[in-house]
Chains A and B, each alone.
Chain A
Amino acid sequence: MANFSKSSVPQFSVEVYQNEFLPEGGRDVNAIVTVTSTGGGTTGGVPLAAGAPASARVPGRAPAAAVVLMVDCSGSMDYPPTKMRNARDATAAAIDTLRDGTRFAVVAGTHVADDVYPGNGRLATAGPQTKAQAKEALRRLSAGGGTAIGTWLRLADRLLGAAEVDIRHGILLTDGRNEHESPEDLRAALDSCAGRFTCDARGVGTDWEVKEVTEIAGSLLGSADIVADPAGLAADFTRMMENAMGKEVADVALRLWTPVGAEIVFVKQVAPTVADLSGRRTEAGPRAGDYPTGSWGDESRDYHVCVRVPEAGIGQEMLAARVSLILPPSPSAGGVPQTLSQGLVRAVWTDDMAASTSINPQVAHYTGQAELAQVIQQGLDARKSGDFDGATAKLGRAVQLASASGNADTAKLLSKVVDVVDAATGTVRLKARVAEADEMTLETRSTKTVRVKK
């Protein structure tokens, strides 16, 4: 939640961790960029763009936010019937968490989308009365129909786009596969919504498709998770809503300037979860490109940037990348993007072998965490396709990485899928019997990382 005791201007700090020393002929520069935002309850007159028209925000007040709750009401939600009841209760709990004044709507999703509250194609403004009305509307929700998530997202986009707010967020709950539209339809819906609002996605039960849910959250810069037991929904929805209410700044971009002749090998978010942003670059002037990061509250994220620079001689120093956090242009700021903070990634060529061969601990750590996420995916895919040797090797490597990096949560999830013989060497046996929920939990949460042990 917004904290009014803090500075009224959102503070972004950028820290760069790297070993800048390259050997003769070295070209790849790796750096971990830690971005920390300490927002206030407000942006204190700093113009925040939420698209045109300009925000009607009053300085000194929390940012205006709009949230659309998308609840799966397909027929499968009635098996067992507790699922629908839990979904209703969870949505009600989320509505209770709304800050008064927040704009909101509830969408019942089946093979079509229906805005069940307020129901007039617009958003309601949260207050005691509207919250009660919304909860009343929830009681009328019943299960029946198919699943076409793309239609839900498009409706949410229409509702959110009509509001003059800073933060636009969606919360999506599904329990089944996206069976009543083609994957291309969902992809097209995601593409049209990307950058217009952020969205957290949750799968309840075990009949949904992990890759669909993680793709929705990935495209819309939100979180993905599994709620295997419907009874856990209310707590999870409350947490998600609190998180959404804590967002201060929307549409922040990570801008990367690189020198002429340089090639960007990749740009990944590596904490709190791994997400490859390399393909989401939009050009931003000469030698610079923007990568979307979504909305920020009080939080800290780490990015791994790898740049291949033109080689220079021993003793040379080069700026390999300038990393900055950018707010999009807004009319009140004269249409000029605002740089919030920046950090420098350097390259220095040396013949000092001790300097050029050492690996920065942060870079090493996150390289391991990214590999961890990858080998879990590969291991589970191999297991599903019947390649048990391949699955054992990949998941063994995952156990080794999780154990070495102190990623206790992932290690715990792995131990439900494999029997660990020796974590240090990555020797494991596949469990003969694995609960579907455990496997899906591991797959959904495989991208969660831990930070470097201090």
Chain B
Amino acid sequence: MSQSHQQASLPGCPSCEEPLEPGDLFCGACGYDLSAVPAPPGDRPTVAITVPAQGAAEPSAAPVEWPPAAGTDGSDRSAPTHRPADLPGVDSGGRPLVSGERAAVRFDEPGAPVGSPPGAPDDVPGDFELAAPDPRTVEHAPAGASAAGAKVCVACRSGRVDTDGYCENCGHAQPRERDHMEEELGGVAAVSDRGLRHHRNEDSFAVSCTALPDGSPAVVAIVCDGVSSASRPDEASAAAASAANESLLESLPRGAHPQQAMHEAILAASEAVNALAQDPGQAMEHDQHRHQNAPACTLVGAIMAGGLLVVGWVGDSRVYWVPEDRSNPPARLTEDDSWAAQMVAAGLMNEAEAYADERAHAITGWLGADAYELEPHTASFKPDRPGLVVVCTDGLWNYAEAAAEMAAAVPPEAHERPLHGAQVLVGHALDGGGHDNVTVALLPFAVTARGAGSA
């Protein structure tokens, strides 16, 4: 889950809005102590619990930097998935991506001390019989809604399920369609799950396949994570995912550049979420104590089209690149809009300190009517070898934060069986504790014209 979207943001001074320089410890205008960034509210269902993936323990894996942009100083960067001749990652405006002075930004360090020790997963033993039905074992009934009258409660296995979805014997809510969703199309698969600790699934996804004007295929995956501290996060994520997907299905066949299309899709998603704020919705009675909060969600998307891999995001949902040949280093392709990422980027804290802070996961960018300023991030890559694109929410990457950990969690045959791969990754998160909703989309990337344009 994305954390509450409290303003914890640079580069504006929280006190006087004066623009800040990375590395400033105090505001140059008003002297505000920048280390005292306001704390987010106490809503912290997900403490980042890094369960080191097997085989990812050695901290010696090559640190992977933010994808380099041509013409910027990339001296000490290794960009394993890109070669100099490849298309550089650029931002939405076509400008080079953030460059050299942010050398302090180092992500994907495996084994980074993140969050609290994973004690929580141990304290959910089966000492009460009504434990969460494990979505991997319980049959979810996509077509079962009509047969509600005949259904037997999954919790007590004796009561009949009433028309309002609760067991008439033990009162337990029955699994809803959205608790576990799967979808597979040619070239992309996605799985979303409620997890083990949340009462509903506030994540959403959309996957689709279309064609560019030249007839070549384009594959799209969008993953959204509702902000729990806002009202109706489930509706926000569903609206954003479907709006972004529809926008892409309209713009890609029309010949829009995928990166521009992604930018527009994020704007479309943002509008869809903003529109929810005006509409009171039906879920209000359940959200009474927080309904003053506009619906909000994160978004991350990936497009594979014309040999390009375009990613776009707002918030802390991520895209990872896992090469098919595992001897090549994997990489993370997105940079979170989160408090920790900003603190590290601003040089105020090192990564270990930043991620150990309880504010680490407070997001600083999101889609929603109360977003301060929407800055869609997009980047474009031209991979030179086949690999797998992992698009996921923090419900997964909390259990495989570093790129190497994520790569280790991806089963070897995921390239051929993306749906199975996505299921395995969701299982990885559930095994780690399933503290949040888990959503992952996998897009196998095949290189058709191998070596084209490269030395």
Contact = CB atoms under 8 A, between A and B. Distances in A.
Interface in A1-22: 15-17, 19-20
B286 A346 contact: yes
Given A354-B43, A355-B43, A316 B132 contact: yes
Of A19, A311, A320, A355, most buried by chain B (CB within 10 Å of CB) is A355
B42 A316 contact: no
A313 B199 contact: no
A309 B171 contact: yes
A349 interface: yes
A135 to B, nearest CB: 52
Interface string B151-163: 0000010010000
Given A20-B286, A360-B289, A318 B170 contact: yes
B285 interface: yes
B42 A353 contact: yes
B385 interface: no
A257 B159 CA distance: 14
Contacts of B41: 354
Contact of B166 (A20, A311, A319): A319
B269 to A, nearest CB: 25
Contacts of A309: 171
A317 B178 CA distance: 15
B45 A352 contact: yes
A58 B83 CA distance: 89
Interface string A309-333: 1111111111110100000000000
A384 B255 CA distance: 89
B172 A318 contact: yes
A270 interface: no
A320 B199 contact: no
B428 interface: no
A318 B288 contact: no
Contact of A313 (B124, B167, B289): B124
A310 B435 CA distance: 22
B172 A17 contact: no
A17 B288 contact: yes
Contacts of A322: 164, 166
Contacts of A319: 164, 166-167, 171-173
A8 B228 CA distance: 44
Given A258-B171, A260-B169, A16 B45 contact: no
A313 B45 contact: no
Interface residues of B, number: 36
A262 interface: yes
A354 B41 CA distance: 8
Contacts of B242: none
A353 B169 CA distance: 29
Contacts of A348: 199
B289 A312 contact: no
B421 to A, nearest CB: 25
Contacts of B124: 313-314
A91 interface: no
B276 interface: no
A315 B172 contact: no
A35 B195 CA distance: 37
Contacts of B82: none
B194 interface: yes
Contact of A315 (B167, B196, B228): B196
Contacts of B128: 311-313
B229 interface: yes
A179 interface: no
A260 B129 CA distance: 14
A342 to B, nearest CB: 9
A318 B173 contact: yes
B130 interface: yes
A136 interface: no
A358 interface: yes
B45 A351 contact: yes
B132 A315 contact: yes
A259 interface: yes
A261 interface: yes
Nearest to A346: B286
Nearest to B41: A354
Contact of B199 (A16, A259, A350): A350
A429 B150 CA distance: 66
B219 to A, nearest CB: 33
Contacts of A17: 288
A395 to B, nearest CB: 33
A262 B172 CA distance: 12
| Among B128, B197, B229: residue with most chain A CB under 10 A | B197
B289 A358 contact: yes
B417 interface: no
Nearest to B166: A319
B106 interface: no
A344 interface: yes
A243 to B, nearest CB: 31
B131 interface: yes
Contacts of B130: 310, 312-313, 316
Interface string A112-156: 000000000000000000000000000000000000000000000
Contact of B170 (A260, A344, A351, A360): A260
Contacts of B132: 313, 315-316
Nearest to B156: A260
B172 A313 contact: no
A16 B286 CA distance: 9
Interface string A249-264: 0000000011111100
Contacts of B43: 352-355
15 contacts: A20-B286, A259-B170, A260-B156, A261-B170, A315-B197, A315-B199, A316-B173, A319-B171, A319-B172, A322-B166, A348-B199, A352-B228, A355-B289, A358-B289, A360-B289
Interface of A: 15-17, 19-20, 257-262, 287, 309-320, 322, 344, 346, 348-355, 358, 360
